[in-house]
């Protein structure tokens, strides 16, 4: 049997996307194991959740540190854990080019909008303020530009007249949890390939 791919998760806060991935791993929906969970903030609920799950959880505080130095420490921890794929799960830090280059096409991110619309912070508020009628989430590979890498999958949700930021964020988050696990599964199973900017499904059995 092939050895399981190793995931590294980076988070900064609540960690609900991490938990969704961890649940999918546990249930066998993602053929991988979580080798390490790293938070850059001591108060991240996701870090506590990783510890409770008995995972290798590490705090590497970023506050007050030069980005390159902090990133070098995170890269070194990920390499020590021999990760095959890194999932940014609410990791609210820009990665340095050195970090991205250390793991080419091996870093995924989830963003709460239909990229390329509304990159950056407060994507759900940006969508509401703009007045779009449909929003959603995007799972993409990370490149050296913010919220810019090749898109693996997107899920849409309606924007309702009654929505405030909280209601829209909750509707999107529900889809994020489904989308992230599905994207990680596709990547670790070798079901996709990058052609120019397009991520295409290879011929695999089962529903598209
Ligand atoms: C999620 O909505 C995620 O898409 C967003 O932060 C939230 C983290 O929630 N990420 C970004 O905005 C990145 N640009 P979580 O900690 O519960 O997974």
Whether 205 has a pLDDT exceeding 80, the answer reads no
Q: What is the pLDDT of residues 115-163, one digit of tens each?
A: 999 999 999 999 999 999 999 999 999 999 999 999 999 999 999 999 9
CA 90 to centroid of ligand 1, rounded, Å: 4
- Of 3.40.50.170, 3.10.450.40, 2.40.50.140, 3.40.50.720, the CATH number of 109-208 is 3.40.50.170
Domain 1-103 matches domain 109-208 at the CATH topology level:
yes
Q: What is the pLDDT of residues 102-117, one digit of tens each?
A: 999 999 999 999 999 9
The protein residue with its alpha carbon nearest to ligand 1, atom 2, reads 112
pLDDT for residue 208: 53
CA 48 to centroid of ligand 1, rounded, Å: 17
71-85 average pLDDT score: 98
* 14 CA closest ligand 1 atom index: 16
Domain residue ranges in the chain: 1-103, 109-208
pLDDT for residue 51: 98
Q: Which residues are the active-site residues? A: 111
Q: Which fold has domain 1-103?
A: Rossmann fold (3.40.50)
* Ligand 1 pocket, mutate which of 90, 122, 155 (most atoms under 8 A from CB): 90
**Cα–Cα distance between 87 and 9 in angstroms, integer?**
5
CA 181 to centroid of ligand 1, rounded, Å: 14
Q: What is the largest CA-CA distance in the chain?
A: 51
pLDDT for residue 3: 87
Q: Which of 162, 110, 101, 161 is nearest to 136 (CA)?
A: 110
Cis status, amide bond into 116, omega within 30 of 0: yes
Whether 61 has a pLDDT exceeding 90, the answer reads yes
**Cα–Cα distance between 206 and 188 in angstroms, integer?**
16
């Amino acid at each position: 049997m092939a050895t399981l791919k190793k995931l590294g998760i980076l988070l900064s806060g609540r960690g609900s996307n991490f938990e969704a991935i961890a649940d999918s791993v546990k249930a066998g929906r993602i053929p991988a194991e979580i080798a390490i969970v790293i938070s850059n903030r001591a108060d991240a609920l996701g870090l506590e959740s990783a510890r409770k799950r008995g995972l290798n959880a590490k705090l590497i505080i970023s506050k007050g540190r030069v980005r390159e130095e902090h990133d070098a420490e995170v890269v070194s921890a990920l390499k020590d854990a021999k990760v095959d794929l890194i999932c940014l799960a609410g990791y609210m830090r820009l990665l340095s080019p050195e970090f991205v280059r250390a793991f080419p096409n091996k870093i995924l991110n989830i963003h709460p909008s239909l990229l390329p619309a509304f990159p950056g912070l407060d994507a759900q508020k940006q969508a509401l303020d703009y007045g779009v009628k449909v929003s959603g989430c995007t799972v993409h590979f990370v490149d050296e530009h913010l919220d810019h890498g090749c898109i693996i999958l997107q899920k849409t949700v309606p924007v309702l007249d009654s929505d405030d930021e909280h209601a829209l964020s909750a509707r999107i988050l529900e889809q994020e949890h489904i989308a992230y696990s599905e994207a990680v599964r596709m990547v670790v199973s070798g079901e996709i390939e990058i052609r120019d900017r397009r991520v295409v499904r290879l011929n695999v059995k089962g529903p598209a």
